Amino acid sequence: MTKKNTLGITVKKDKDFSEWYTQIIQKADLADYSSVSGCIVYKPNSYSIWEKIKEITDKKFKAVGIKNAYFPLFIPESLLQKEAKHIEGFAPEVAWVTHAGSSKLNERLAVRPTSETIMYDSYSKWIRSYNDLPLRINQWNNVVRWEFKHPTPFLRGREFLWNEGHTCFATKEEAEAEGKEIIDIYDDVCKNYLAMPSLIGKKSEKEKFAGAVYTISMEFIMPNSKSIQGPDFHHDGQNFSKPFEISYTDKEGNKQYVWQNTWAISTRMLGVLIAMHSDDKGLILPPKVASTQAVIIPIFFSDTKAKITKEAQKIKDRLQKTGISVHFDDREGYSPGWKFNEWEIKGIPVRIELGPRDLEKNEVVIVRRDTNEKQTLPLSALAKEVELILGQIQDNLYGRAEELLKKSVIQVDNLKEAKEQLNLQKIIFSPWCGDTGCEDKFKEMTGAKSLNSPLEQPKLKKDQKCFACKEKAKYWFYLGKSY
Amino acid sequence: MTKKNTLGITVKKDKDFSEWYTQIIQKADLADYSSVSGCIVYKPNSYSIWEKIKEITDKKFKAVGIKNAYFPLFIPESLLQKEAKHIEGFAPEVAWVTHAGSSKLNERLAVRPTSETIMYDSYSKWIRSYNDLPLRINQWNNVVRWEFKHPTPFLRGREFLWNEGHTCFATKEEAEAEGKEIIDIYDDVCKNYLAMPSLIGKKSEKEKFAGAVYTISMEFIMPNSKSIQGPDFHHDGQNFSKPFEISYTDKEGNKQYVWQNTWAISTRMLGVLIAMHSDDKGLILPPKVASTQAVIIPIFFSDTKAKITKEAQKIKDRLQKTGISVHFDDREGYSPGWKFNEWEIKGIPVRIELGPRDLEKNEVVIVRRDTNEKQTLPLSALAKEVELILGQIQDNLYGRAEELLKKSVIQVDNLKEAKEQLNLQKIIFSPWCGDTGCEDKFKEMTGAKSLNSPLEQPKLKKDQKCFACKEKAKYWFYLGKSY
């Protein structure tokens, strides 16, 4: 009988993170390279996590009145160019369609890197009066950014999946208030489902979105202490509504331009999730986003097979009734030990072993994927116990990620210490001037860049100086090496 | 106060179907043209129906063991060319990416018109042994076919959304058996949710999918008696597995090529749905796919406003508890009559009118969108009654569509009558030879083409001749004018 290669991961996460990450993607069957350079295949094991993220997030969007729509994949070149900073930011990475069939197109079409321009072209026709506001539309789609940097599955690629919300409000205040609502939703999804805390704050002028007034980002600290930007919210002010002529007549009959935001969460989060929780044995998934939460593995011999199978089926039914998604691995020709390994690599939170001796005692053996802890449980209380254990795993994973985040950040107020800490793979939290020139210089010197500035932050000392250039400090900022 | 243009539809469905269709798309706020020719915006009112179709269908796919994944949008030209008939069928409509940023690509990339070739390139790496089969993978995505025919929102456009299932089996028998399973799922969705019956059968050699051994299609007869192809299933035999080298080692250790199928349902069904059920007043939606099933419209004067609002809120809560999705239209500055019109055009199945006199009698007025029937109901039984009425609307819409289908098809066995009936806007059901030459000739003569041949069909008379060319008839076939 042919068996798939299920050799474990051959390197340690804390020794060679990048090779460990590459192996886990392949061995947990999460993604595959494709014949299009920089584009991956999202295999069912990772796509099912994305489906969960979408489902959870989308429900929260709908609950606050956001509606989904779908806009064209293509954007005419002339439209993409309407907002100067936007095109400047995206032009180097645009994939251009120039031909259809055997005909050359009159105008090149961009494959959307983001949809502001095509959506705002419509919005300018749809919005007439204050009665048409707010307009809060979202789409779940694919976008293409032809980056030339080294691609990494999920974390950096030329095509990814995301949501892009694009909203219009009558006033600046209403638009800005949406920021809290959206970031709260993303934070809820990341914390309570993906089991990951983040640093939430405002990006620097240099690092904000191309075309935005300001950007609020969620920065995750990876186990290799590099930071990576997760979901974000951009307040665009009237930067787009003016060139795109998105205006309305107010109650007094005056013409006003709308105030806009855009916000997104992408499949990059799959990479962050995988890297954050998993270990040297393979993938570890938070139960709330695992499409299979428990696997039953029978240990049978020819004489006990029928009995064990029947009991396993009963356990499966009982767990499903409690709302636990469970798989019964009844494949023949694979040893229990081989199956243990396979489901361990694939990150199923709970393993239930069912053998003839356990069954005689009306017991089963349960193994937690996060701690490898083994316990024997009476059959009668199983569903309730498994539910409890799933909750404990969820909490434990969050706790570990939070500890990692805390350990990674260190407060420093001078350049010497900043350099030392960055060399020790830390994220620094420092009083900073926010100046783009200072940021460029610091990046050249250390390879680190600014992450963000917490929305609520400690007070700066009177006359506090910038940790890097000694000019006046304006805010506390997170800075570090990042993806 | 500015009010949106809610003028009704100005033409009759049975007088000028095409203009009626154009108006309903705009006035029910379903789609909008975009600045990319042939590509539309799916507005929330139509996209929400697509979300329902996806959700319902996807659940059924998962229940039979199909898994979702996501493959790249782009296909290298060399890959697309691997199966000769496939590229021949799609080449004239491919949108080509030739540049990224300011660089010319080494090889042109097709924006996927369908994903066989990019998926099978992966499958050939993933499948090794009979243990890896069946492989049943589906994706929900966007595809581009740069047609040069006149576009019609939903029915024909250059970008559309769909599911594409691509499966591999060890044997021809298993692959073919999937046909029934998949067509049953699509038929269930179309009949029991979209309230539309169809003609199900095998396509002719001329009309089958580019690369398939055979195609099973579902053909819908539109109210203008033109047919349109809906969901379909293609059995590809080993036509792709051989050029793509998708092979496995069987139990005896021999190399075998897999047997494959592909199948799809697309956003075209939105157009069919809209056209099928709606009337001269606007959209009519089957309750099972309406994201809002009932709307409460208060009729209040300044002194009764508080009381009516409170009662409306109570009704809303009660209906929601029963699982009915309901909207309370409490906008000010719009008259009840104006609101009646708006929700009528937008196709909400049930309207609940709540005025002070009704309230005094503990009653409400209910209006059915499909029949315009008005009835007064006691408040106490409301939720139950509305549920019942929604079921009746669903059944009534199906009944009407079924009647239309029956009326549209007529059995004929000779060319003269065939021509007469086609001129009377009928679909004909005829004994046919199936020959491509005969089909070409018939199409040239009448503008009609073959639709499909029912899987279970009446027996042909001994020595039955083809209705068109008088050669030997091979099957009963539906033929007609189509989109």
Could you tell me which residues come within 8 angstroms of residue B343 by beta carbon, excluding any fewer than 6 positions away?
B295, B297, B329, B351
In order of B202, B450, B460, B469, the CA distances from B464 in angstroms are 20, 18, 6, 12
Q: What does the alpha-carbon distance between residue A36 and residue B117 come to, in Å, rounded to a whole number?
A: 12
Q: Which residues of A touch B146 (CB under 8 A)?
A: 100-101
Cross-chain residue pair A43–B141, CB shorter than 8 Å: no
Residue A465 — very low, low, confident or very high, per pLDDT cuts 50/70/90?
A: very high
- Tell me, what's the pLDDT at A300? 81
Question: Which stretch of DSSP H or E encloses residue B183?
Answer: helix B172-192
Q: Residue B77's closest CA among B141, B142, B38, B121?
A: B121
Please provide residue B41's backbone torsions phi and psi, each rounded to the nearest 5 degrees. -95, 125
pLDDT at B84 over 90: no
Could you tell me which residues come within 8 angstroms of residue B403 by beta carbon, excluding any fewer than 6 positions away?
none
Selected residues 286-305 of chain B with any CB under 8 Å from a CB in chain A:
none
pLDDT at A79 over 80: yes
Nearest-by-Cβ selection for A39 from B1, B4, B72: B72
pLDDT at A434 over 80: yes
Average predicted confidence (pLDDT) for chain A: 95
Q: Residues B235-279: pLDDT tens digits? A: 999 999 999 999 999 999 999 999 999 999 999 999 999 999 999
**pLDDT (average), residues A181-205:** 98
Cross-chain residue pair A32–B100, CB shorter than 8 Å: no
- Tell me, what's the pLDDT at B3? 42
In order of A29, A45, A140, A454, the CA distances from A343 in angstroms are 11, 12, 31, 40
Cross-chain residue pair A146–B2, CB shorter than 8 Å: no
Percent of chain A with pLDDT over 70: 99
In angstroms, the separation between the Cα of residue A41 and the nearest Cα of chain B is 5
Q: Considering only A95-109, A466-480, B290-304, which range has the smallest mean pLDDT?
A: B290-304
Which residue on chain B is closest to A2 by alpha carbon? B129
Q: Could you tell me if A376 and A358 are in contact, meaning their C-beta atoms sit under 8 angstroms apart?
A: yes
CA angle centred on B165, ends A294 and B449, rounded to 5°: 160
Cross-chain residue pair B79–A35, CB shorter than 8 Å: yes
Q: What does the alpha-carbon distance between residue A462 and residue A470 come to, in Å, rounded to a whole number?
A: 14
Q: What does the alpha-carbon distance between residue A12 and residue B51 come to, in Å, rounded to a whole number?
A: 43
In angstroms, the separation between the Cα of residue B189 and the nearest Cα of chain A is 21
**Helical axes A382-408 vs A305-321, angle rounded to 10°:** 70
Cross-chain residue pair A69–B41, CB shorter than 8 Å: yes
Does the beta carbon of B144 lie under 8 angstroms from any beta carbon of chain A? Answer: yes
Q: Which residue has the tokens 């799916």?
A: B42
Q: Residue B174's closest CA among B259, B236, B109, B96?
A: B259
pLDDT at A90 over 80: yes
Does the beta carbon of B375 lie under 8 angstroms from any beta carbon of chain A? Answer: no
Q: Which DSSP string do the residues of A417-479 spell out, in sequence order?
A: HHHHHHHTTPEEEEEE---HHHHHHHHHHHS-EE--EESS-PPPPTTPBPTTT-SB--EEEEE
Q: For chain B, what is the radius of gyration of the CA atoms?
A: 26
* Pairing between β-strand B255-257 and β-strand A259-266 as defined by DSSP bridges: unpaired
What is the residue type of A403? E
Percent of chain A with pLDDT over 90: 91
Q: Which DSSP string do the residues of B257-272 spell out, in sequence order?
A: E-EEEEEEEETHHHHH
pLDDT at A84 over 50: yes
Q: Which residues of B touch A113 (CB under 8 A)?
A: none
Please provide residue A172's backbone torsions phi and psi, each rounded to the nearest 5 degrees. -60, -40
**pLDDT (average), residues A212-219:** 97
Does the beta carbon of A135 lie under 8 angstroms from any beta carbon of chain B? Answer: no
Could you tell me which residues come within 8 angstroms of residue A444 by beta carbon, excluding any fewer than 6 positions away?
none
Q: What does the alpha-carbon distance between residue A135 and residue A115 come to, in Å, rounded to a whole number?
A: 16
HSE-up of residue A386 (Cα within 13 Å, Cβ side): 33
Q: Residue B289's closest CA among B222, B350, B352, B349?
A: B349
Q: Could you tell me if B144 and B159 are in contact, meaning their C-beta atoms sit under 8 angstroms apart?
A: yes
**pLDDT (average), residues A80-86:** 87
What is the residue type of B203? K
Q: Which residue has the tokens 């073919």?
A: B176
Higher-confidence position of B465 and B6: B465
Could you tell me which residues come within 8 angstroms of residue B413 by beta carbon, excluding any fewer than 6 positions away?
B430, B431, B464, B467
* Residue B433: Cβ-neighbour burial (10 angstroms; 0-12, 13-18, 19+): buried
Selected residues 150-189 of chain B with any CB under 8 Å from a CB in chain A:
159, 161
Q: Mutation test of the interface with chain B: which of A74, A105, A115, choosing the one with the most B Cβ atoms within 10 A?
A: A74
Please provide residue B49's backbone torsions phi and psi, each rounded to the nearest 5 degrees. -70, -40
Residue A3 — very low, low, confident or very high, per pLDDT cuts 50/70/90?
A: very low
User: For chain B, how many residues are written?
Assistant: 483
Q: Considering only A332-336, B130-134, B310-314, B404-408, which range has the smallest mean pLDDT?
A: A332-336
Q: What does the alpha-carbon distance between residue B214 and residue B217 come to, in Å, rounded to a whole number?
A: 10
Nearest-by-Cβ selection for A76 from B35, B48, B102: B35
Q: Which residues of A touch B129 (CB under 8 A)?
A: 2
Q: Could you tell me if A227 and A155 are in contact, meaning their C-beta atoms sit under 8 angstroms apart?
A: no
> How is residue A398 written in tokens?
């969050």
Q: What does the alpha-carbon distance between residue A282 and residue A284 come to, in Å, rounded to a whole number?
A: 7
- Tell me, what's the pLDDT at B418? 97
Q: Residues A5-23: pLDDT tens digits? A: 557 899 999 999 999 999 9
Number of CB atoms found within 10 A of residue A355's CB: 18
Q: Which residues of A touch B244 (CB under 8 A)?
A: none
Question: Which phi-psi region, left, alpha or beta, contains residue A173 (left: φ > 0; alpha: ψ -120 to 50)?
Answer: alpha
Which residue on chain B is closest to A109 by alpha carbon? B36
In order of A311, A338, B247, B368, the CA distances from A301 in angstroms are 14, 16, 33, 63
Q: Residues B429-455: pLDDT tens digits? A: 999 999 999 999 999 999 999 999 999
In angstroms, the separation between the Cα of residue B464 and the nearest Cα of chain A is 43
Does the beta carbon of A388 lie under 8 angstroms from any beta carbon of chain B? Answer: no
Q: Which DSSP string do the residues of B104-157 spell out, in sequence order?
A: EEEEEEEEPSS-HHHHHHHHHHH--BGGG--EEEEEEEEEE----SPPBTTTB-
Q: Which DSSP string do the residues of B156-167 spell out, in sequence order?
A: B-SEEEEEEEEE
- Tell me, what's the pLDDT at B2? 36
Could you tell me the pTM of the whole model? 0.96
Could you tell me which residues come within 8 angstroms of residue B200 by beta carbon, excluding any fewer than 6 positions away?
B183, B187, B216, B217, B218, B219, B452, B454, B455
Q: Residues A365-407: pLDDT tens digits? A: 999 999 999 999 999 999 999 999 999 999 999 999 999 999 9
Q: Considering only A355-364, B41-50, B59-68, which range has the smallest mean pLDDT?
A: A355-364
- Tell me, what's the pLDDT at B149? 87
Q: Residue A144's closest CA among A38, A25, A265?
A: A38
pLDDT at A436 over 70: yes
The three-state DSSP-derived secondary structure of A147-197 is CCCCCECCCECCEEEEEEEEEEECCHHHHHHHHHHHHHHHHHHHHHCCCCC
Could you tell me which residues come within 8 angstroms of residue A364 by beta carbon, excluding any fewer than 6 positions away?
A315, A352, A353, A354, A358, A376, A377, A379, A382
Residue B480 — very low, low, confident or very high, per pLDDT cuts 50/70/90?
A: very high
Q: Residue A408's closest CA among A216, A155, A226?
A: A226
Average predicted confidence (pLDDT) for chain B: 95
In angstroms, the separation between the Cα of residue B13 and the nearest Cα of chain A is 26
Q: Could you tell me if A422 and A448 are in contact, meaning their C-beta atoms sit under 8 angstroms apart?
A: yes
Does the beta carbon of B366 lie under 8 angstroms from any beta carbon of chain A? Answer: no
Q: Mutation test of the interface with chain B: which of A4, A97, A102, choosing the one with the most B Cβ atoms within 10 A?
A: A97
Does the beta carbon of B436 lie under 8 angstroms from any beta carbon of chain A? Answer: no
Q: For chain A, what is the radius of gyration of the CA atoms?
A: 26
Does the beta carbon of B337 lie under 8 angstroms from any beta carbon of chain A? Answer: no
Q: What does the alpha-carbon distance between residue B222 and residue B18 come to, in Å, rounded to a whole number?
A: 11
Cross-chain residue pair A74–B36, CB shorter than 8 Å: yes
- Tell me, what's the pLDDT at A332? 86
Does the beta carbon of B255 lie under 8 angstroms from any beta carbon of chain A? Answer: no
